[in-house]
Amino acid sequence: MRDTVSFRVLRAAVLTSITAMVLLPLYVIVVSSFKPLADVSGPFTWLPDRFTLEPYVQMWSTIPLARYLANSVLVTSVSTLLALTIAVLAAFSLSRLRWRGQRAFSLLVLSTQMFPGILFLLPLYLIFTQIQRTIGVQLNGSYAGLIVTYMTFSVPFATWMLMGFFAAIPDDLEEAAMVDGTTRLGAFLRVVLPVARPGIVAVGVFTFLNGWGEVLFASVLTTRETRTLAVGLQAFSTQTDVRWNEMMAASIVISLPVLVAFLLVQRHLVQGLATGAVK
């Protein structure tokens, strides 16, 4: 279709506004991370008084940032791996096999994915308290407890996403393998899994991102030792001052890896969505 002049003008105007809207907060984060504390503590300036890398050095000693980072990596990785393992098996069964109760089970997974974390936080907190009272295992404030709560959103999310990826794989592939005498399980392991690998990796990344940004459970169920980044960054703000420059520097450092990972696999999200429901 030809692009008329008025269309081009409108397009330029709309896209410029949206770009400005997207860039402004990103710019503020980046520029503030290179400012000295005195600069970010006063009125906002578009450029640093003095460009400095100090916040990137100082942030590690102002708060136990490395500890929070390690906690986040541990809790998010373990919960993602556990959820992904459970979900790959279930999603294969749900999307490529036929069995009684299949539809009911998909409905269960789908509906639990939609309930907010706050509905699970209260009862899980009480269950953890009771477990501690009865058998003495501490879950409130421990890694294990936090991992369990992260599973409440990662398991249904990963299952639902993977079902879409598995369903998009042509049946012929699997059938060809089975004609050759491979069992259903063998076809799953040797044919479906390798083909679905980019999708599985992508789902893993999205699940990881969800955990990386989790605030609700971590705000209640972590202690000084087990605090994750999402909650721990608040510590840059104390009663006397807010170290905005270090907070922004830390934000950038902990966001960059997940930004890169997201941009690398985002095509699969679109693909998964395009081959799934959006058609």
Partner 1 sequence: MATTLNESPPESRTARTGSGGRRRRRRLNLLPYLLVLPELVAELLIHIIPMALGVWIAFLSLNQLSIRHWISAPFVGLTNFRNGLDPSTAIGSQFFQTLGRTAVYTVLVLGLCWLLGTAAAYFLNSQFRGRGLLRALYLLPFALPVFVSAIAFAFMFNQRDGIVNKVLVDELHLVDDRPFWLIGSNAFVTLVIASVWTAWPFAFLLQLAALQTVPDEVYEAAALDGAGRWRQFFGITLPMIRTPNVVMLLLMFLATFNQFTVPYVLFGVSPPSEATLMSPLIYQFSFGNWNFGLGGAVSTLLLVLLFVVSAVYIRLVMPKERPGHA
Using CB under 8 A, which residues numbered 9 to 28 contact partner 1? 11, 14-15, 18-19, 21-26, 28
Chain mean position to CA 258? 8
**CA distances, 253 to each of 30, 71, 86, 247 (Å):** 11, 15, 31, 10
Alpha helices in 115-192 (DSSP H): 117-135, 143-167, 171-179, 184-187
Question: Of these, 71, 80, 142, 210, which contacts partner 1 (CB under 8 A)?
Answer: 210
Q: Which is nearer to partner 1, 137 or 270 (CB)?
A: 270
Question: How far apart are CB 136 and partner 1 at their closest, in Å?
Answer: 14
Based on the shown chain and the rule CB under 8 A, indicate whether residue 77 belongs to the binding site for partner 1.
no
Residues in 100-119 at the binding interface with partner 1, rule: CB under 8 A: 100, 102-103, 105-119
Contacts with 107 (C-beta within 8 Å, 6 or more apart), sequence order? none
Task: Scan residues 38-67 and list those touching partner 1 (CB under 8 A).
Answer: 41-44
Interface residue with partner 1 among 32, 80, 142, 222 (CB under 8 A) is 32
Interaction between residue 142 and partner 1 (CB under 8 A): no
Nearest of 165, 176, 153, 152 to residue 94 by alpha carbon? 165
Q: Is 278 in the site for partner 1 (CB under 8 A)?
A: yes
Q: Which helix (H) or strand (E) holds 256?
A: helix 244-275
Does the footprint of partner 1 cover residue 189 (CB under 8 A)? no
Closest CB 156 distance from partner 1, rounded Å: 8
Q: Does residue 52 contact residue 246 with C-beta atoms inside 8 Å?
A: no
